[in-house]
Structure 1
Amino acid sequence: MRIAQITYSTKPRGGVVHTLALAEALARRGHEVTVWTLGRGGDQAFFRPVDPAVQVRVVPFEAREDETVGERIERSIQTMSAAFQEAFRSERGPAFDVVHAQDCISANAVVAAGARCVRTIHHLDEFTTPGLVECHRLAISEPVARLCVSQAVAHEVGEAYRLEPTVIPNGVDAARFARAASPAGTPARNAWRDRLGPYVLALGGIEPRKGSIDLLEAFARLRRGHPDLSLVFGGGETLFDYRPYRARFEERAAELGIEPVILGTLDDDDVPPLVAAASALGMVSTKEGFGLAAMEALAAGVPVVARDLPVTREVFGDCVRYAHDVPSIAAALASAVDGRSGADAAAGRALAERHSWDGAAAAHERFYEHVLREGGDGGAAVDLADRHPVGAR
């Protein structure tokens, strides 16, 4: 199949990581795969090298300081759509058999270009601006078929839109994070520990959905008994404007006497040893689609504290420690850091190993075949269990 995978950014957000890993796995299965993205801020390539078997098309997108988030999203859609109109169709017919949009922006751009697409809904966002609400709605209702990476999100889509997406869980490069935790990864891990000392890690930046202030408050309690610990935030590239939330975070940190280490966007090779060197990973998001960072931590044998949500229960079972508010997050982190009874590290590693990208690609292939044969999913989940399980290698 000729497959276009489309994402809105070159930066290491979860959906972008998903797009690249899925594209590479599909290429290994013999498909012709092209990944499309916007080159924000002059970017001409993704945050990491991409398998040469995958073609990459970066659509230039100039930065503008004087526009709102809504204006930036609208311009993103228009810019992508113009590129698609030129490339997706020719006198010989459609350029791709399958066009797969991985986010709201790319789905709207494909629809605006007059093409049919599959959409992965990683999670449902909550907007109040009418234009963004409509953008979000169209990106779910207009594609010919829909996927989710967890049943919990598929249920939310069903409740809100009366549609039943097909569920294909994320994969994870478990071997890469396991290597970082192995004896061979000791120098890189030690480099982070020498720099940071013992630390609790959070990935994904400082933003409301990540529950960053809750984690800060919990860490303040944790540090009373663990004064040598640091709180470290990695990543955080985002399209949205979280400056007011970031200001509240910084104000509260000063009141608590905590100086979090803010690493920002990381080189891709730095992420596995940073994760493997952590005393614990805190993923206390108020909303998640899957929790890829937590799965990567489990692959490295690092204990995870997750907010108790339907999606985290579904994906992680008994392999993480759960919490629901600041006191319980602090208590769960203390348990994780102290190595007291709780989640089984071996079970966590085994869970991560079962989520392969090759298995996810095989399931996507079967889904695409159904969509091509039937013209879409008809608003109902597609049965993919008749051949191989999603986790099969």
Structure 2
Amino acid sequence: MRIALITYSTKPRGGVVHTLALAEALARAGAEVWVWTLGRGGDDAFFRPVDPAVHVRVVPFAPIDGEDVGDRILRSITVLGEAFTPADYDVVHAQDCISANAVGRCVRTIHHLDEFATPELAACHERAVVEPFARVCVSAAVAREVQDGWDLTPTVIPNGVDAQRFSAGAADVAGRRRWAEELGEYVLAVGGIEPRKGSIDLVEAYALLARERPGLNLVFAGGETLFDYRWYREAFDKRCAELGVQPRVLGTVAEEELPSLVAQASVFAFLSTKEGFGMAAMEALAAGVPVVARDLPVLREVFGTTVAFASTHAEMAAALAWPGGDRAAGRELALRHSWDDAARAHLDFYAALEPHEATSR
């Protein structure tokens, strides 16, 4: 089976991490797999090495000074679509709304649903839900949102997680010592500073927490994004100044350093307003770190009693101060989410497609 997985970026975002891990697991299962993406900012490769069994195609995408988000979305769709030839593959599987719009008739994974103010992006999002001939969701909660909103019934295939890699981060004494020396004791959030990640809510909760735990620092890692969130970053900085909060903002962390950064955290904050699964939180559980999550139905579904849930700033602060959740069960939960299992489920899903569905473009 010749499978093309399509994503929109080479950078370390959740959907891109998913795409690469799934591609490698599909290749281990015997499929011929290509991953297609746009090479933004001059990139000609992904943020990490990819198993040579996976064919990688990076389509150059040069920056244009002053280009607004809407125009960049439309150009992304055009550039990727002009480079891609669907007829070369048995299955074309888009992992985001940009790639789904670019490649035409396809399978689509809907990782989570969002609301966009930019008209071009809102239209892209809508088409990428409605037009694919088959849909996958990584949790039942998101599948229900699709059912309720569009009367469509996706297939649920949960994410995998590289649990062994993050478990190894817990045993990386030298790496953890380096982070401890640089950052002290810290609350960690991974995913950058943006509205969906609830970054300002975390600052509000941390300001309350700091009264009780003044030696506990606040650290943000990650943050690569296609979108222009300068307005949110300005609001974030303003609120930090008003509250006297001085977070450490690390930006993108090298792939080999991330597990020890996560493992050294005192607590992992996962306060997203929208999620499809919660892979970063699952990685923290694999590293043995307690997780505090926003009380969302999807996160209740995925994590059960293994994390502490909170809704208000006061609840978040209290949970961060004394995080609950069953850490042993959390490790076991992470280990149960295998990418090889996810790949087998995808292959079964592809095989069940009607032949004309899988190949017609």
- TM-score normalized by the length of structure 2: 0.98
Q: Tell me the amino acid that sits aligned with residue 353 of structure 2.
A: V
Q: Tell me the amino acid that sits aligned with residue 135 of structure 2.
A: R
Provide the C-alpha distance between the structure 2 equivalents of 1:14 and 1:296, rounded to a whole number of angstroms: 12
Unaligned residue ranges in structure 1 (runs of 5+): 89-93, 337-341, 377-393
Residue 220 of structure 1 pairs with residue 202 of structure 2: no
SS state at 2:34 partner? strand
CA contact (8 A) 2:277 2:299 kept: yes
Provide the C-alpha distance between the structure 2 equivalents of 1:133 and 1:274, rounded to a whole number of angstroms: 35
In structure 2, what is the equivalent of residue 343 of structure 1?
A: 325
Residue 135 of structure 1 pairs with residue 117 of structure 2: no
Deviation at residue 130 of structure 1 after TM alignment:
3.1
Provide the C-alpha distance between the structure 2 equivalents of 1:334 and 1:261, rounded to a whole number of angstroms: 19
Provide the C-alpha distance between the structure 2 equivalents of 1:83 and 1:372, rounded to a whole number of angstroms: 26
Please list, as runs of the form range in 1=range in 2, the aligned pairs for 1:341-380 lying within 5 A after superposition.
Answer: 342-373=324-355, 375=357
Residue 230 of structure 1 pairs with residue 217 of structure 2: yes
In structure 2, what is the equivalent of residue 255 of structure 1?
A: 242
Unaligned residue ranges in structure 2 (runs of 5+): none
SS state at 1:375 partner? helix
Q: Tell me the amino acid that sits aligned with residue 100 of structure 2.
A: A
CA deviations 1:66-115 (Å, max 9, x no partner) are 1111110000000001001xx33xxxxx210001100000000001xxxx
SS state at 1:265 partner? coil
In structure 2, what is the equivalent of residue 55 of structure 1?
A: 55
Q: Tell me the amino acid that sits aligned with residue 293 of structure 2.
A: A
Deviation at residue 228 of structure 1 after TM alignment:
1.0
CA deviations 1:218-268 (Å, max 9, x no partner) are 001111111111100000111111111100100111111111100111111
Deviation at residue 352 of structure 1 after TM alignment:
0.2
Q: Tell me the amino acid that sits aligned with residue 208 of structure 1.
A: P
Provide the C-alpha distance between the structure 2 equivalents of 1:73 and 1:264, rounded to a whole number of angstroms: 23
In structure 2, what is the equivalent of residue 91 of structure 1?
A: none
SS state at 1:224 partner? helix
In structure 2, what is the equivalent of residue 385 of structure 1?
A: none
Deviation at residue 344 of structure 1 after TM alignment:
1.3
Provide the C-alpha distance between the structure 2 equivalents of 1:296 and 1:159, rounded to a whole number of angstroms: 30
Provide the C-alpha distance between the structure 1 equivalents of 2:61 and 2:106, rounded to a whole number of angstroms: 22
Deviation at residue 191 of structure 1 after TM alignment:
0.7
In structure 2, what is the equivalent of residue 190 of structure 1?
A: 177
Provide the C-alpha distance between the structure 2 equivalents of 1:261 and 1:299, rounded to a whole number of angstroms: 24
- TM-score normalized by the length of structure 1: 0.90
CA contact (8 A) 2:11 2:47 kept: yes
In structure 2, what is the equivalent of residue 303 of structure 1?
A: 290
SS state at 2:3 partner? strand
SS state at 2:220 partner? strand
SS state at 2:35 partner? strand
In structure 2, what is the equivalent of residue 46 of structure 1?
A: 46
SS state at 1:267 partner? coil
127, 132, 151: which is aligned to 1:162?
Answer: 151
CA deviations 1:296-339 (Å, max 9, x no partner) are 00000000000000000000000000000111100110112xxx
SS state at 1:45 partner? coil
In structure 1, what is the equivalent of residue 110 of structure 2?
A: 121
SS state at 1:201 partner? strand
The aligned length equals 358
Residue 101 of structure 1 pairs with residue 88 of structure 2: no
In structure 2, what is the equivalent of residue 389 of structure 1?
A: none
SS state at 1:42 partner? coil
Q: Tell me the amino acid that sits aligned with residue 55 of structure 1.
A: H
Deviation at residue 374 of structure 1 after TM alignment:
6.8
Identity, % of aligned positions: 66
SS state at 1:305 partner? strand
SS state at 2:272 partner? coil
| Bigger Cα displacement from structure 2, 295-304 vs 119-128 | 119-128
Provide the C-alpha distance between the structure 1 equivalents of 2:113 and 2:190, rounded to a whole number of angstroms: 20
Provide the C-alpha distance between the structure 1 equivalents of 2:308 and 2:64, rounded to a whole number of angstroms: 42
Residue 264 of structure 1 pairs with residue 251 of structure 2: yes
